[in-house]
Structure 1
Amino acid sequence: MGWRRARCRRSSCKLFFPEDPVKIVRAKGQYMYDENGRQYLDCINNVAHVGHCHPDVVNAAHEQNQLLNTNSRYLYDSIVDYAQRLSKTLPEKLCTFYFLNSGSEANDLALRLARQHTKHTDVIVLDHAYHGHLTSLIDISPYKFRNLEGQKDWVHVAPIPDTYRGIYREDHKDLVAAYANEVKEIIEQAHKKGRKIAAFFVESLPSVAGQIIPPAGYFQKVAEHVHKAGGVFVADEIQVGFGRVGKHFWAFQLQGEDLVPDIVTMGKPIGNGHPVACVATTKEIAESFAATGVEYFNTFGGNPVSCAIGLAVLDVIEKEHLQAHAMQVGNLLMELLNQQKVKHPIIGDVRGAGLFIGVDLIKDKEKRTPATEEAEYLITRLKKEYILLSTDGPGRNVLKFKPPMCFSVQDAKLVVDAMDKILTDMEKEGACEPVRDLQS
């Protein structure tokens, strides 16, 4: 099977566990099954938000497919019903919705909206950010462009507000001001060059950067600087929206009730695996966009089947209390992982919110050197225990937990017990180098 895929997909399309890939033939809930019927616990798939092949979502798609599927040039109720349901989860100011097919499309449209509304061009992003695979988004994704054509002159990169291994750390007296002032300085330098800021793009919780939790209040301070410069604030919720963070429905709300982004983009979990995406924005920005006289039309965006699926996902989140569940299970998982941090020195940091958690593995407590090889070894061993987990971060040393929202207390205990045994074995076998603590 592997050679057939290699011939038609080529090397740029990567597999999980490329040395021993898993062939998945079906999935249900938080589990995936290979061709031999073996069950794997899925700790990776934030796309299957309410669980793989959730019957309510599958039935909604099937029933609507039998009735009607067309484009939004015709009148049908579901697109309005869906927009109204989404609006109830967002600040009142975000009252206009555009429906699309992917997170990349959503962020590309957000970029167009920002530029049309502000009449400016430049964009500020965080270091290691990833906003999509379209050319326009590669340009604002340091995670990608640093390995391709480099940074465009209209793109400005701010330090990521990582309080564990960033330029300002947990012992700094005012992390919010320190990191926000970096953005302010970028704006001032851009203005000196005659450049103007259209938008600050930010993942509400940076994911590929290593499951980062920005300090509360940082977004508000940055928004203040960006608005003063005539730009807009774009919150990318494509990885972390729809109740994943537990305490709130949207991850940007972790920053405080007074934060209202100008644009919010959604994707991945919105359709539980079906290609749906959305951009929510203000009436003023939408009117600026319409003022061009050029219509916005997306052939498949907001079609009746997609809307039926989107509504079903919202129904399941509500009916099964998945937001509260994410908080309960996520809190337990964080507690169990922090217990492992005390036991295993290789665990330098445990951070997260709800069912979005990162475990930062290190070689050195003082330098916080990424334990890249050890992280790869650990997830390979977990796979042999039928647990699927991935790594990310600039050093590929951060274990990423972002499972389907039906992930249970029992699942959390199972994963942590397996990690404990593997890390203990690694320490005995010398697979983990002794973590140096220069203060001891």
Structure 2
Amino acid sequence: MPPNTPRILHVLDHSLPMHSGYTFRTRAILKAQEALGWQVRGITGLRHTAAGPDAEEAEGLHFTRTRGDVGGPPAIREWREAGLLADAIGELAKDWRPDILHAHSPALCGLAALRAGRKLGLPVVYEIRAFWEDAAVGNGTGQEGSLKYRLIRALENHVVAGADRVVTICQGLNDDLVARGVPAGKLSIMPNGVDLALFGTPAPRDGALAAELGLGDGPDAGPVIGFIGSFYDYEGLDDLIAAMPALITRHPDARLLLVGGGPMADALQAQAQASPAAYAIRFVGRVPHDQVERYYALADIMAYPRKASRLTDLVTPLKPLEAMAQGKLVAASNVGGHRELMEHGVTGTLFPADNPAQCAAALADLLDARAEWGAMRQAARAHVAARHDWARNVQRYQDVYQSLLRRNQDGLSTAA
């Protein structure tokens, strides 16, 4: 970076102290950038709903909150929401004076950054973590091809066209943008990753917790298949529950541990209660973030049976990487997002999506192959360290930022 370290203002939907995959990726990026000596701050829009002061420190990171109320019909309301965030960016810039605005999806954050960037004369990086029209379909709040879907897609295209550089978290999103006509030279990939400094020696198995959940303890305890995350339809947990009768036919002592909650929680519990394998399925509900490692430690295999869709084919999830970093075996459906993260039989096990029978067979085969577990765990951990450690990946931002700062400086020199 230039001798005078530039200031990067991250424009965000929400942030810590709220907990989500979105905020954890943000934390990893900002912490890794700070470790390189960069100056960073975050500013959130109206969708950050946690109570707190206008200027807040969370886990050592500094965030500014946007305040205000918006009304009106859909589209007009969102336009005003982006306007409030753009105004807040302008106010913060008077004192903190950022050199680059780095907006993160959804597109409303990108729109606000574009509007502020034009007024301030600052370059804008727009980072896409998912296409939010597809995410809405995946979580049941939208329908593919609907007017709302098309409007969000059009807004996304507008922001991508206006941004100086565009970053995606994976190859699938990158390729989709190229197919839309976005110049490949405008795009960069910043892969999803984990902070390996947070994953040292995995937590030991908590025998008391295992006994409390009826999972057994000691050498006679059966294998545990785990899932920790949000219970959305696209996660395919209904297929995992449907796979359990066939799995326990081959491995009668196998148990399924489901930790989390979400829109599908009630339906999944009803399905499990009606299953002949009901006795082998445990629901824990949501647990505090600082307790999650205790539940990871109970599982032998973490399962991610995502259904096939545009969302799951284009986007790489974070959870399998965290599991591999924790030294867990990973079994996942062969959707595009999973294929980009792991190699079947080397760093993980892949099985056909939307197919409980194949899911059960893959899990049973993996349980039969205990002699290979050590090598697979080591290969998975090495893969994460080489390709998905934030301490390394964050340096990819350096080329993006440098190119924009040089271009901005050249423009100022020409104007002078």
The higher relative CO (CA closer than 8 Å, separation ≥ 6) is in 1
TM score, norm. by length of structure 1 = 0.31
Structure number having the greater helix percentage = 2
